[in-house]
Amino acid sequence: MKHWRETREVLDRLDAVVRAGHRAALATVIRVRGSAYRREGAKLLVADDGSTTGNVSGGCLEYDVREVGLAVLRSGEPQLRTYCPGTDADALRGTGLGCEGEIELFVEPAFEARPHDCARLKGRAPFVVCSIVAGSRDAVGERLTVTSTTSDGSIGASNLKARVAARARELMHAGHSALEDLDDHTVFFDVLDPPPRLVVCGAGDDARPLARFATDVGFQVSVVDRRPAMLGPGRFPTEVECFASDGDSLSKCLSFDKNCYAVIMTHNLDNDLAYLRSLLASPVRYVGILGPRQRTERLLAGLELALDDSGSRRVYGPVGLDIGAEGAEQVALAVIAEILAARSGRPPRSLRERVSPIHANADA
């Protein structure tokens, strides 16, 4: 979920490094076996002054990958690196993986900015960056960016380019990155899906930690309130979009799809009802309502619905997991945890009760 935002931060930093006349190396996780803190596509940018942006693990690999990045800068040659748990070499370097997984990284010189990818990351259309990480020496590092209708860049012969583009679109539809062998080359397909959107209806003080925490975990957050004064500068993080709108005009300022989630928290019954009416008429997957169950039932009754009706199954009220939350910050954590559980299709429970690997699918 954070992949889109973190990639944007890394590429923005690369642009700044290049504009300042410096160089950088880019490390990308290209394959994960077993359990690992980060997944395919996670990135660490290493500038020539040793500063870094991003991460490829929970902290156990960053120092070593930084040194590899600096070595790549000195040689100008990309490297493939594999980190395994329990190996003598990793133990001596202190880079054993706490998650007991194995990850492979491609570390390449990144001497040029990537403005076209940066521009795509400001929109909401998925795309795939395809990079040759092994094969003929001249081809390693070549890159092709594929959207649903276009492909830009250079990646081997024309027949390879066509195969890569076709496979990229298949993976884009499936929604996951992959490392695959094609025509004597190994290609990493870095699938970038736009982050889910969280729409917070109500800009009161308790909405502020919710917007902040949701932004931190990777949501694209929009805050809506009928009172423009509640949306002034400084109330919400700069990444948060703010819209002055009541429930009746909500669809005019925001577009909704099945990758959208919403929380209603205006503390006003009539305002909540107007937002709820608009959201239930949209394809939003989740509608959380702040307040006690009786309040949610009153709102649904105003729309001639009940909590157990098929039309209200997207409604979560009272919103949030039952963790004994107290105060705006704890409530925000309970709400975000519930949304993440709903998004992944997993029942909310302690990980110690899960027998299958923690990164496996919900039905594993």
How much is the average pLDDT of 55-84? 93
Say what the pLDDT of residue 260 is: 95
Query: Percent of the chain scored above 90 by pLDDT?
Result: 75
Q: What is the mean pLDDT of residues 164-186?
A: 94
In order, the DSSP letters of 259-313 are TEEEEE--S-HHHHHHHHHHHHTS--SEEEE-S-HHHHHHHHHHTT--TTSGGGT
The H-or-E segment that residue 136 falls in is none
Provide the 10 A C-beta neighbour count for residue 184.
11
> Binning pLDDT at 50, 70 and 90, where does residue 352 land?
confident
What one-letter code names the amino acid at 158?
Answer: S
What's residue 86's pLDDT? 52
pLDDT at residue 63 greater than cutoff 90: yes
Q: How confident is the model at residue 364 (pLDDT cuts 50, 70, 90)?
A: very low
Can you give the pLDDT at residue 309? 75
What pLDDT, on the 0 to 100 scale, is given for residue 133?
96
Distances (CA, A) of 83 to 34, 90, 100, 106, 337: 12, 7, 10, 12, 31
Is pLDDT of 85 > 70?
no
* Cis upstream peptide for 209 (omega within 30°): no
d(CA 285, CA 161): 37
- Mean of the per-residue pLDDT values for the chain? 90
Across 300-322, average pLDDT: 86
Band of residue 209 on the pLDDT scale cut at 50, 70, 90: very high
Q: Which of the residue ranges 85-89, 154-158, 223-227, 325-329 would you say has the lowest mean pLDDT? A: 85-89
Task: Confirm if 86 and 16 have CB atoms less than 8 A apart.
Answer: no
Which helix (H) or strand (E) segment holds residue 46: the answer is strand 43-47
> How does pLDDT run across 321-330, given as a tens digit for each residue?
999 999 999 9
Grade residue 157 by pLDDT with cuts at 50, 70 and 90. confident
What pLDDT is recorded for position 359? 58
Other Cβ atoms less than 10 A from the Cβ of 205: the count is 9
Does 92 have pLDDT greater than 90?
Answer: no
Query: Residue 178 pLDDT > 90, yes or no?
Result: yes
pLDDT in tens, 93-143: 555 555 567 899 999 999 999 999 999 999 889 999 999 999 888 889 999
Distances (CA, A) of 313 to 176, 280, 284, 307: 28, 10, 11, 7
The pLDDT score that the predictor gives to residue 78 is 96
Is pLDDT of 363 > 50?
no
Q: What is the pLDDT of residue 357?
A: 65
Q: What pLDDT score was predicted for residue 358?
A: 62
**Helix ranges restricted to H, the chain:** 3-19, 62-75, 88-93, 115-120, 158-174, 207-217, 250-253, 269-280, 293-302, 328-344
pLDDT, tens digit (0-9, with 9 covering 90-100), for 243-261 = 999 998 998 989 999 999 9
Query: Listing from the earlier edge strand, what are the strands of the sheet with 24-33?
Result: 52-54, 43-47, 24-33, 102-110, 79-83
- At the second CATH level, the architecture of 197-344 is 3-Layer(aba) Sandwich (3.40)
Please, where in the chain does CATH 3.40.50.720 lie? 197-344
Q: What is the pLDDT of residue 308?
A: 74
